[in-house]
Amino acid sequence: MGYLCGMSLNLKVDIDPRSGFCFGVVQAIRRAEEILKKEGTLYCLGQIVHNDEEVKRLQKAGMITVTHEQLTEIRGQKVLIRAHGEPPETYELLRRNGNEILDATCPIVLKLQGRIKHSEGQGESILIYGKANHPEVIGLMGHLEGNGIVFKEFEELDLDTLPDRVTLYSQTTMSIEKLYAVRQKLEEAGIRVLLKDTVCRQVSGRKEEMQAFCRIHNVIIFISGVESSNGRVLFEACKHVNPQSYKISSVEEIDPSWFQPGNTVGICGATSTPMWQMEEAREKTLKL
C-alpha cells in the first residue's frame, strides 16, 4: 500500500538499547569533550569515529581533524590518538614536534598491539585477518618489523609460500565466524594454526542480540557511518534476519515508502553510532 501523503502512518518505533558506541569510542569521545570544554581546541589524527555526523558535532565544538600528511606541520599542540591506535612512528613524530599526546587507543587494541609484538619476538609467522587500509591494522603492522601478512579474503593468501605453522590474529571488528572458517581452511591445507582470537566481544556479541531485535520489528533502520567496518558487519546481520532493513548515515535518508501503516520500526546502529543520532531518527520516524 505504501505511504499516503497527509496520512499518519501511526508507527511504533523502538531504539535497540544495546546499540551505540562501544567502550573504546566512548572513552575517546569523552576525552575529546573534556579538552574541548576546557580549551576550545583539540587536534585529532584522523576521524575520531567513523560517523560523519558525530565528527561534525565535535568539529563545531572546536575539534580539528588532521591527516597523517598534515601531522608534520602540527607543533606544540594537544593531539588525540583515536581508539583505532597508531604505529610507533606516529608517537615519535608527535614528540619530536613538541606535541602533547592524548592517547585514547582502545584498551583492547592496545592489548592486541602488545600481543602481536610479543609473537613476533618469539619468531612466529603472523597472519592478520583484516583490512590492510584500516587504521587499526595499519597501527598493528607498525608494531611489526615486516613479519606480518594482512588478508581480507582467504583467497588472497598464497598457500605455497606460507610456512607450515602460523599464528593467526584478527582485526578486532572482523566477523568471528569468518575468522574460525579461515583457521579451518588453513588447517585443511596442511598448515598448523595457533589462533589468537582477538575479535572484540563488544562487537561480535552484538550480532545475535541485534538479530533478535530485528526479528520482532517489521522494519529496521540501521544507522552507521559510511566508513564503519563494524557497521557493514552488523548491517549484514540485520539484513539476514529481516529483509526490510535499511542502512542510512543521516536521518535525511529515511524514506516514508519503507513503511506501512501500523508498522513496528526498530532503530539500531554500529559501535560508532551515537545514541543522539538514533534518537533523532526515532523522532523523525514517529512524525511520518
Closest CA to 51 of 65, 34, 37: 65
Of residues 236, 208, 203, the one with CA closest to residue 222: 236
Share of the chain above pLDDT 90, in %: 78
Q: Does some domain include residue 228?
A: yes
| Whole-number Å distance between alpha carbons of 236 and 130 | 17
- Same-domain status, 237 and 248: yes
Give a yes or no: residue 254 inside a domain: yes
Residue 234 has pLDDT above 60, yes or no: yes
Which residues are known catalytic residues? 136
Residues of the domain holding 28: 23-105
In a domain, 69, yes or no: yes
Q: What's the mean per-residue pLDDT of the chain?
A: 92
pLDDT of residue 87: 94
Q: Is 2 within the bounds of a domain?
A: no
Three cell numbers, residue 85: 591506535
In a domain, 5, yes or no: no
| Domain end (from 157, 175, 199) | 199
Residues 127-167 have pLDDT tens digits of 999 999 999 999 999 999 767 999 999 999 999 999 999 99
Give the sign of the dihedral formed by CA 105, CA 136, CA 41, CA 63: negative
For the chain, the domain total comes to 3
User: Tell me, what's the pLDDT at 97?
Assistant: 96
- Residues 29, 86 within the same domain: yes
Q: What is the pLDDT of residues 40-70, one digit of tens each?
A: 999 999 999 888 889 999 999 999 999 999 9
Q: Where does a domain end: 105, 129, 160?
A: 105
The CATH number of the domain where 158 resides is what? 3.40.1010.20
Compute the CA torsion angle 142, 148, 150, 156 (nearest 10 deg).
150
Question: What is the pLDDT confidence band of residue 6, given thresholds at 50, 70 and 90?
Answer: very low
pLDDT at 227 over 90: no
Residue 189 within a domain: yes
Q: Which amino acid is at 178?
A: K
The residue from 149, 181, 199 where one domain ends is 199
Residue 82 sits in the same domain as residue 162: no
Q: Is residue 7 part of a domain?
A: no
> Are 29 and 96 contained in the same domain?
yes
Whole-model pTM: value is: 0.82
pLDDT tens readout for residues 171-225: 998 888 899 999 999 999 999 999 999 998 877 778 889 999 999 999 999 999 8
Using the predicted structure, report yes or no on whether residue 2 has a pLDDT greater than 70. no
